[in-house]
Chain A
Amino acid sequence: MSYPKILTANWGIEGSHLLSVVRARGAYSRLPKAFAMTPAALTQVVKDSGLRGRGGAGFPTGMKWTFVPPAEKRGGKPVYLLCNADESEPGTFKDRYIMWQDPHQLIEGMILSGYALGVRTAYIYLRGEFKFVQKRLDEAIAEAYAAGLLGKNIQGSGFDFDLYTHLGAGAYICGEETALISSLEGDKGQPKLKPPFPAVEGAWHAPTIVNNVETLAVVPWILENGADAYKAIGTGKSLGTKLISVSGHVKRPGVYEIALGYPFKDFLEKECGGMLRGKGFETLKAVIPGGSSVPVMTKDEVLRSSFDYEMLSTPMDKGGPGTYLGSGGFIVMDDSTDMVDSLTNLLRFYAHESCGQCTPCREGCGWMYQILTRVCEGDATQEDLATLKDLADNIHSKTICFFGASAAMPVQSFLLKFKDEFLAKIGALSAKGAA
């Protein structure tokens, strides 16, 4: 499969984080082209490209941008652009590489996106653990200011654009866009009720667009090569390239840029070097394809799936794997994996990270973790498993933000797809005589 490397083009080059190095390779060369266009025309290019949010939800980026009310309906309020660099989803570690390897790609993407949206001030919100990344970004931003690429009247265009980094305090929930806004505003990182949606009323009650690092970093390439060139990559509604962060039982875990539509099987064999142990896929047990929150896939499902938003989200009753591409955090598990332990470990994370704002998630995540702990210890009954399933159902889609569903979906899918392992843990399998 042949496709251009969009996000990873400069990775691994000596000094790829330095302006002098990347500028020689085309960084910031799209600014004059953008400034010659109207902001609306630039938005249209992004819309036409079919680019979808790379943070996990896969919402069309250009469409999101059009939700910002026109200037005459904003009551004099500014528009903010926030880059979501809170990358905290277990199994996901792609954005840090973009910012570490090629920070100017993100900065240029933000200038272009800011121009399209009429933004004067933008922020990159980083998770608290990314202090080292913040340092690198701050250095890159300083270089860009010194070169007249940020600040007042950029390249004589009349466009003013300031960019700041902001470090969170290390909470998973702050990757949820409204919690990110709360945290940026100085409040506790807790999601806000929707409506109003951030595009209408976000940071400091002003229209706000929150985009993922990877999403913004793609914009320069799209502008340079055109929407059609981007659309030419991928399949169906899953267009362009995507970074996949692979962890688990493969020979070569790491971050890969793939063209959407790429089959998992080929990806595992060719990019990841195959399974860590055994021949072919004989040891493959399961994959969580899009970060810890999405439903787990069985071996059979993995081998017939590809990196395709629509294909992956096809429900099981319609023959699909019933999961999501999510953030592209691709967790591979072989047959040495204890699925009950794995799920318990995930729930320990969700119980700890639930912000505690709304009832089902606050109480339910902790309770599910408690039950799972007992299942691991063999101190549980089939009634407990039924309760666990019911609690997950009672949390999913009943909460303020998507966190509840994120904690519920692993429970629902693990219980559904690996039920025997749970029964075996509590000694209920042998009693039934099934193996």
Chain B
Amino acid sequence: MPKVKINDTEIEVPNGTNMIEAARLAGIEIPHYCYHPHLSVAGNCRMCLVDIVGGRGPDIACNMQARDGLAIRTDTPAVKKMRASVQEFLLVNHPLDCPICDQSGECRLQDYYMEHGQYESRLNDAKVSKEKRQDIGELIVLDAERCVQCSRCVRFSDEVTGTGELRLMNRGNHTEIGLFPGERLGHHYQGNLADICPVGALTNKEFRFRRRVWYLRETASVCDGCATGCNIDVCHQEGEVFRYNPRRNDAVNKSWMCDPGRLSYQSVMSLKRLLRAHVDKKEVGVDAAVAEVVRRIRNASSVGVVLGTRATNEANWALLTLVRANLPGARIFWVEGNDSTGLPADKILIDGDKNPNSAGVRLLAAHDGKVGDKTALKDAIPELKLLLVLQDDVVHRLGGMSLPPVIYFGTYLNDTSERAAVTLPVAHTVEQDGSYTNRQGRVQRIRRAVNPAGDALPAYQVLEKVGAALGRAPGTAMPAAAFNTMARAVARLKGMDFKSLGEGGLPLAALPPESSNVQAAV
């Protein structure tokens, strides 16, 4: 581990750390445009020029590996002048159209100008003009004038998607990014281009002009579009969600997310949301529906229960505990499958399993030991008199089999809600606290960003009401309590508590050797 010095701070950093990251570890920010921790080093923006103590001249921190005894300074007059100069050069041919630019508020040109700019224009010459509003892909519009030629987008398309559509064309101050004639972006990760573009050159068509970003608040959560569980920031204002942005988690999604996942924020305001409780298609209050659920459970001679791959760990734990405590004769199942078709799996982020918590359900199934799968459910259906379904569209997944009366705790209108005798609205991922376990077996927090729509509640809270009415509440009124009880009971969650999941989540503990006969959780 080399020991380096940044200004007056000495710090030991891991081998192979570049000096931008080393400085970050020392709490010192070195400004940069082209450097990105998940892309190769290009070294073209020159914003990260620093002085090497005892060195021959300035050099760029992004391409400087930490080595023992290396000392740099980021606070000398020379460094300040270099930063001001790079800012000035970048603005020489920039249109300065911030008032109509959607990047305003999250633009590095603006941010660094405030911190490092020289505030006084020396430009008495005409700017180079380039083509604005170029429609280059489903999600992306390019304004070549705003571009600072950092090549992040070029490297992303070369190194992450491997599609290589983007190139820097022409030379000198006529350099601009572009595609080959007649080509368009051809991948499902376009939104990331707008994210990594440090300026307003690449903007997201779907988001732009909808809200000034400084009005938005961010809540750290997880995308529920597939089993990958990309970490996201839910960006919202006054109860309305405007976008999902990928949130860096090197263990899961690095800095990226797919376009369908990014656009899945639209499901919060979807017209297909289940917003009210119903009994026999008649809208009722939640309490009335809970009473009806309890009545039907008590009257049914044989009850089946289906855990939800789209439900939180806390909700599944609530359902499992409720059944084992109150309904000794009931049988529990889970049904693998997707509620709707999506993009096939790729080698980047997209998983074929479109549920955020299949691994969590598998873990609880293994823990319980008596949870049946889809085949077991199909076999059992003729004997069942009542079926409780947690969030998954089980009717769709079973391919339209004839079923006993269904009680559906769900977020969306679908085949199951359509067939259900009783429905109870469940909060959307962004409307509740809880956790999902992703395909790698990483337990990750979701957080309430906005209030639940309509009468929706987190499922664990509805189930708490049902359990209480049946005699023994599962103790899941609060998600932290639900999780912590579950973590004490389930071996592979040992040592975790709700708080310790933090922003980045925690991996499941390894399977103890003696339980290797039990189905692996992930």
Contact = CB atoms under 8 A, between A and B. Distances in A.
Nearest to B63: A193
B44 interface: yes
A374 B124 CA distance: 10
A151 interface: no
Contact of A397 (B42, B43, B44, B57): B57
A362 B82 contact: no
Given A354-B171, A356-B170, A370 B46 contact: no
B160 to A, nearest CB: 19
Contacts of B93: 363, 366
B194 to A, nearest CB: 21
A356 B58 contact: no
A400 B62 CA distance: 12
A365 B175 CA distance: 13
A359 B148 contact: yes
A364 B82 CA distance: 13
B114 interface: no
B213 interface: no
Contacts of A359: 44-47, 86, 89-90, 148-149
A356 B174 contact: yes
B90 A363 contact: yes
Contacts of B57: 397
Most chain A CB inside 10 Å of its own CB: which residue of B45, B58, B81, B92: B92
Contact of A366 (B90, B122, B173): B173
B82 A394 contact: yes
A193 B41 contact: yes
B257 interface: no
B126 interface: yes
Interface string B49-87: 100000001100001000000000000000001100110
A294 interface: no
B325 interface: no
A310 interface: no
A111 to B, nearest CB: 36
B128 A387 contact: no
A349 to B, nearest CB: 11
B46 A398 contact: yes
B168 interface: yes
A356 B168 contact: yes
A63 to B, nearest CB: 18
A362 B149 CA distance: 10
B125 interface: yes
A360 B57 CA distance: 16
Contacts of B86: 359-360, 398
Interface residues of B, number: 36
Contacts of A362: 89, 149, 172-173, 175
Interface in B23-42: 41-42
Contacts of A367: 89, 92, 123, 125, 173
Contacts of A171: 171
Contact of B122 (A352, A363, A387): A387
Interface string A389-408: 00000100111100000000
B46 A384 contact: no
B44 A358 contact: yes
Interface in A317-376: 351-360, 362-367, 370-371, 374
B46 A399 contact: yes
A387 to B, nearest CB: 5
Given A360-B46, A394-B89, A354 B172 contact: yes
A366 B173 CA distance: 6
Given A356-B149, A359-B148, A384 B175 contact: no
Contacts of B122: 383, 387
Contacts of B171: 171, 352-356
Interface residues of A, number: 32
A417 interface: no
B167 to A, nearest CB: 8
A398 B170 contact: no
Contacts of B46: 358-360, 398-399
B89 A370 contact: no
A193 B41 CA distance: 9
A360 B168 CA distance: 17
Q: Is the interface of B mostly helix, strand, loop or mixed?
A: loop
A399 B46 CA distance: 7
Contacts of A193: 41-43, 63
A68 to B, nearest CB: 21
Interface string B143-180: 00000110000000000000000011011111100000
A398 B58 CA distance: 7
A358 B45 contact: yes
A193 B43 CA distance: 7
B148 A351 contact: no
Contacts of B88: 394
A358 B62 CA distance: 14
Nearest to B91: A363
A348 to B, nearest CB: 11
A366 B128 contact: yes
Contacts of B89: 359-360, 362-364, 367, 394
Interface in B364-414: none
A356 B85 contact: no
A295 to B, nearest CB: 18
Contacts of A365: 172-173
Most chain B CB inside 10 Å of its own CB: which residue of A193, A351, A355, A364: A193
Contacts of A383: 122
A394 B57 CA distance: 13
B91 to A, nearest CB: 9
A281 to B, nearest CB: 37
A188 interface: yes
Nearest to A189: B171
A294 B58 CA distance: 21
Contacts of A380: 124
Nearest to A381: B124
Nearest to B167: A188
A352 B173 CA distance: 9
A193 to B, nearest CB: 4
Nearest to B173: A366
Contact of A352 (B44, B82, B172): B172
Nearest to B33: A359
B49 A398 contact: yes
A195 B88 CA distance: 27
A371 B125 contact: yes
B84 to A, nearest CB: 9
Interface in B457-501: none
B453 to A, nearest CB: 47
Contacts of B41: 193
A323 B170 CA distance: 32
Nearest to B122: A387
Contacts of B45: 358-359
Most chain B CB inside 10 Å of its own CB: which residue of A188, A195, A367: A367
Nearest to B81: A394
A355 B124 CA distance: 24
A424 B335 CA distance: 87
B127 to A, nearest CB: 10
A398 B43 contact: no
26 contacts: A188-B167, A188-B168, A351-B172, A352-B171, A355-B171, A356-B149, A356-B174, A357-B168, A359-B45, A359-B46, A359-B89, A360-B46, A362-B173, A362-B175, A363-B92, A364-B89, A365-B172, A366-B92, A371-B124, A394-B88, A397-B57, A397-B58, A398-B46, A398-B58, A398-B85, A400-B44
Interface of A: 171, 188, 193, 195, 351-360, 362-367, 370-371, 374, 380, 383-384, 387, 394, 397-400
Interface of B: 41-47, 49, 57-58, 63, 81-82, 85-86, 88-90, 92-93, 122-126, 128, 148-149, 167-168, 170-175
> Which 6 pairs between the two chains have the least Cβ-Cβ distance?
A356-B175, A366-B173, A394-B85, A363-B89, A370-B125, A354-B172
Given A357-B175, A366-B92, A367-B173, 5 more contacts: A353-B172, A355-B172, A357-B149, A365-B173, A398-B86
